[in-house]
Amino acid sequence: MKVLGLETSCDETGLAIFDSEQINNDNQGLVGQVLYSQIELHALYGGVVPELASRDHIRKLVPLLNELLEQCDISKNDIDAIAYTKGPGLIGALMTGALFGRSLAYGLDIPAIGIHHMEGHLLAPLMGANPPAFPFVSLLVSGGHTLLIAAHGVGQYEILGESIDDAAGECFDKVAKMLGLPYPGGPNVAKLAEAGNPDAYALPRPMLHRGLDFSFSGMKTAVHNLIKDTAGSDSDPHIRADIAASFQYAVVDTLVKKCVKALKQAGMSRLVIAGGVSANIHLREMLEAELAKINATVHYAPPALCTDNGAMIAYAGFERLQAGQSDDLAVSCIPRWPMTELPAV
């Protein structure tokens, strides 16, 4: 089954073709993908402007689809089904991809399905020939969400813990801004941290011993104060690298400790990490080391499939379509959508 995936929930226009007949040891079933980032468009305003995002998705969808079909060397008529992001996200941005996908499917007389963006992230590490088996604990760390989930199957998600304030990615973005680094902050903070000493400054690990919920707002304030009180934090490359490394270590250490706790609490031995922050190398390495100590394993997607993309939507769509699910002709997007409300497969 060839599924076209469309991702337009925020500031990336992502399209991809997933083909279930092309999964083998060298190929994840991903036939091709195109991604257009609106970062430059929003840079002037210091954050995503929803109306500009919607308008730009509209401008890019048709040319990107044509580029994708050419890249995959297929025609529109070879597509068997279309999956689009139905929520959560910016309502105008979601509507562009949903209307485009639903209408194209209608025109081609093929099924269409609306996908939960975070389920797309959660399932992305399962693309390929040797996916980790259910059940597993999933750490979803993106710009808008920090969630620990016990995943019993596709659509069977039990929330174990979540952030009560800022998401982990959001915290990376805000600290990047404080350090004068451009958006998206995560990769830039990680790069600066490479040359720094993670033990240079002691930063708090909020809520470490309280259940499985997270809080990153206090950590953000602590970094703000550290930058304000440290001479050279705006100019000395060594001091800046030390601040970035200490901050990154504080976030990663918190995430890792909560993951270990969640695995023990759920009685599971597999951890799957997904979402933009799961691209972080320090997080991956520390999880590998700490999980080995408790005989657990960590699984993640290649970096390009961690941040927003159309492939994860195509793959989540395939999982649901092959189980006989699809949406009717009505297009309804859901900007706020708890994952626990998804139907099981």
**Residues at the interface with Zn ion (CB under 5 A):** 142, 308
With CB under 6 A as the rule, give the number of residues binding ligand KG4: 20
Shortest CB 189 distance to ligand KG4, Å: 7
38 binds ligand KG4 (CB under 6 A): no
187 binds ligand KG4 (CB under 6 A): yes
Q: Is 49 helix (H, G, I), strand (E, B) or coil?
A: coil
Asked whether residue 20 is marked as a ligand-binding residue, the answer is: no
Which pair of structure tokens corresponds to residue 12? 């990336």
Q: Identify which of residues 72 and 255 has a Cβ nearer to ligand KG4 in the complex.
A: 255
Binding segment for ligand KG4 (CB under 6 A), chosen from 21-29, 49-57, 179-187, 211-219, is 179-187
Asked whether residue 14 is marked as a ligand-binding residue, the answer is: no
190 binds ligand KG4 (CB under 6 A): yes
184 binds ligand KG4 (CB under 6 A): yes
* Alpha helices for the chain (secondary structure H): 39-43, 50-72, 91-108, 117-123, 168-178, 185-193, 217-229, 237-266, 281-292, 310-321
Asked whether residue 142 is marked as a ligand-binding residue, the answer is: yes
276 binds ligand KG4 (CB under 6 A): yes
253 binds ligand KG4 (CB under 6 A): no
Q: Which residues neighbour 225 within 8 Å (Cβ) at sequence distance 6 or greater? A: none
Residue 222's identity, in one-letter code, is A
Asked whether residue 327 is marked as a ligand-binding residue, the answer is: no
Binding segment for ligand KG4 (CB under 6 A), chosen from 129-137, 166-174, 232-240, 330-338, is 166-174
Q: Report the sign of the C-alpha dihedral through residues 96, 11, 345, 2, in that order.
A: positive
Nearest to 317 by CA among 89, 54, 53, 97: 97
Residue 309 sits at φ, ψ, to 5 deg, of: -160, 165
Nearest to 23 by CA among 96, 118, 128, 109: 128
Do residues 16 and 310 make contact, with C-beta atoms less than 8 angstroms apart?
A: yes
One residue of 147, 279, 298, 316 binding ligand KG4 per CB under 6 A: 279
- Residues tagged in the binding site annotation for Fe cation: 117, 121, 308
Contacts with ligand KG4 by CB under 6 A lie at 121, 142-144, 169-170, 172-173, 184-187, 190, 275-277, 279-280, 307-308
- Residues tagged in the binding site annotation for substrate: 140-144, 173, 186, 280
